[in-house]
Amino acid sequence: MDHIVTLDSRQEAALQAIADRFIARHKGDAVRALKEMIVLNGHLQERLDAVEGSRRATR
């Protein structure tokens, strides 16, 4: 991991609510929800890497 994020209680509650909704969307299957989140994060990381690569190329 690159860095650790610390959340205050308000942020933690908001994150928990989002996580609960995401798991509910997967019919309560937390493992299935986690697998989808891993795939989604992988796609987002690829896009971020591409943007960073293009920024480096233009400097």
Asked if pLDDT for residue 9 goes beyond 80, the answer is yes
Tokens 């997967």 label which residue? 26
C-alpha–C-alpha distance, residues 49 and 47, integer Å: 5
pLDDT at site 1: 53
Given a contact cutoff of 8 angstroms between Cβ atoms, the answer to whether 30 and 23 are in contact is yes
Question: pLDDT class for 17, splitting at 50, 70, 90?
Answer: very high
C-alpha–C-alpha distance, residues 31 and 22, integer Å: 11
C-alpha–C-alpha distance, residues 33 and 11, integer Å: 21
- Model-level pTM greater than 0.85? no
Provide the residue ranges of all domains of the chain, joining segments of one domain with +.
9-58
